Every structure is written in structure tokens, then in C-alpha cells.
Structure 1
Amino acid sequence: MNDKAEKGAMQVDVQLVRDLAALLDDTNLTEIEVEDGDRKIRVARKAGNGHGAPAYIAAPAPVTAAPVAAAAPAEAATPAAAANAIRSPIVGTAYLAAEPGAAPYAAIGSTVKAGDTVLIVEAMKVMNAITAPHAGTVKAVLVDNGQPVEYDQPLIVIE
């Protein structure tokens, strides 16, 4: 009877749980749930537990120290422009081109029309096109390709 009880027990895919936990860190979400038939896995983190957000904020700094230092002059030169920037509507990962090695959607100095895709923000495996709200010239690109972005983070300036 023990074997029968074990066969009916839910088999937990530990790697899936780890992947979901990593996805929480990557997207700054507090919980995620997946369902496969009658099996359901929910991974959650308390938002203000002192272990979540501060650890996430501190961890990327050493990894991205060189790119942030290189990007600092561009960002410092455009603080006023950042106020007019197109902002991320979601938390995700910014991509400046359709695929690796492809030309960027919009580069500094390029002209765009209203409705043109200027970059993509991927969230939960969904590619969200970020479009130009008006025609103009790209004055600044405030993110790097593959960079995680936060909600309302300035992405690109078009004037």
C-alpha cells in the first residue's frame, strides 16, 4: 500500500522550483505560479522581508560595474532628457534589436516615425514592442541590450 501512496504523491521538480525562484529575482516579482494538469507549483517571496529586494539590488552591482561606469557619462549628460524619455511599461529585459547580431531598432541619431518599434521589453517570455509615441530623432538610448529594466525606468529619448 505504501508503493501505491508514493505513486499518487506529487513529484516535485526541484530544478523547476529553482528556475521559478531565479525568475522571481530576474523580474523582481514577489510570486509566480505554474500549473500542469492537476499539478500546481507556487513560489512566493514576501516583499518586505529584508531578504528580497535589498539582496536583489546589491547583487547586480558587482556584475555590471564596468558597463554602468561606461554608461554613466551618457546618463549624466541626459538627466533632463530622461524626464522626456520613453519609459518601460513593465519589469523585464530590454532588447535593442530583434535578435543577436541584428541591427538595432533605433540608434542615437536615427530618425523614427510615430509607432515605429524602438526596442523590446521581454517579460515572462512575451516580447513587448516599445514604440515611438511621436516622430523624431533618437537623442539617447539609456539601456544596454539584454539589461534588466524596472517599471517606469527611462529607456530611450526621442526629440
Structure 2
Amino acid sequence: MEIRKLRQLIRMVQHSGIMELDIHVAGEQVRIRRGAASALPPVLLAPPQTTITAPQLATVPASHSPAPAQQAQCSPMPGTCYLAPAPGAAPFARPGQQVQAGDTLCIIEAMKLMNAIEAERSGTLAAILVADGDAVQAGTPLFRID
């Protein structure tokens, strides 16, 4: 299925009241689930099947802005976020780990291209805000470095 059509389906799920969309077309299956990825059971994918989890949207009151030490590093592009260099490999970084500016924290796959996302500044990786394999949009918070 074309990435353009997948993006349209993801937007449709995000802006509607439905929690899950399952489509079967020409031998391909696409399942889009809305909600926290951690609340979902693990899914093993077979080649013609794809599962996409829509990212969670958080609202922050306009008067509240986090202190500079707690601002999140966000995704520069839409795509699929991978926290390790390969399936089953150790993650690039773990919460509590010291990172230096320029260290690779994850990879975002966009249009079959792998883009390394590097730490914008040095510090302690306080939190990883996405799960491995999550679909992210430009501006989606990925990490918090204190």
C-alpha cells in the first residue's frame, strides 16, 4: 500500500472516534490502532501484514512551558522510529544513560531511507517518549535529555 494512502488512513483514525481500523485489500492487510503502544499486546508481523500505531497526542496548557532542562527532543520528520540499529539489537540509548551532543539516539525510517537522529545536546537521557516501531510525525516528542 502506498505511504500516501497509509498517512491518510492514520489521519482518519486520529481525527475520528474509532480505536482500530483493519483493512484487507488485494492480499495486503493494514491495521491501525489508536492508543498507547504499551497497552497493546505484542504483535508478530507476517510479510503481507502491517500494523501501525497512531501516536498519542498530549495537550499542554499554553501558560505552561517546561523548563529548558526538561524540553523534549522532537522528531524532525514523519516516519517510523526505531530505537535500535536492528531487530533484537541493543538500543542506541537507555534512560539514565549519559549522552553527548551528536550521539545517535534512534533511527527514523522515512520513504525507505534510514535517518539517524542525534542528541541535540549533552546530558542524561531522562526519558524515551516513544516505543520502538512507533509511527511519528514531525514535531513528535522522542526523548527528554536533562
TM superposition score category, shorter chain reference: 0.5 to 0.7
Hey, which of these two has a bigger chunk of strand by percent?
2
- Cα 1:122–1:53 shift into 2, 3 Å: closer
- What CA distance in whole angstroms lies between the structure 1 residues aligned with 2:77 and 2:12? 21
- What CA distance in whole angstroms lies between the structure 2 residues aligned with 1:66 and 1:136? 27
TM-score, L = length of structure 2: 0.63
> Pairwise CA RMSD of aligned residues?
3.1
Contact 1:111/1:135 (<8 A) preserved: yes
CA displacement, residues 97-132 of structure 1 (integer Å, 9 cap, x when unaligned): 000111111111111111000011110001111101
- Cα 1:111–1:80 shift into 2, 3 Å: same
- Cα 1:102–1:54 shift into 2, 3 Å: closer
Hey, which of these two has a bigger chunk of helix by percent?
1
1:55 aligns with 12
Which of 125, 138, 142 is equivalent to 2:112?
A: 125
TM-score, L = length of structure 1: 0.58
Q: Report deviation, 1:61.
A: 3.6
Which of 98, 102, 106 is equivalent to 2:89?
A: 102
1:111 aligns with 98
The 3-state SS of whatever aligns with 2:96 is coil
Counterpart residue type for residue 129 of structure 1: A
Q: Please show how residues 14-93 of structure 1 align to structure 2 within 5 Å.
A: 19-20=1-2, 23-26=3-6, 28=7, 54-57=11-14, 58=16, 61-62=19-20, 63-65=33-35, 67=37, 69=39, 80=66, 84-93=71-80
- What CA distance in whole angstroms lies between the structure 2 residues aligned with 1:108 and 1:140? 5
Question: 4+ residue runs of structure 1 moved beyond 4 angstroms?
Answer: none
Aligned residues: 110
Structure 2 gap segments, 5+ residues each? 21-32, 41-57, 59-64
Please identify the structure whose Cα radius of gyration is greater. Answer: 1
Contact 1:113/1:135 (<8 A) preserved: yes
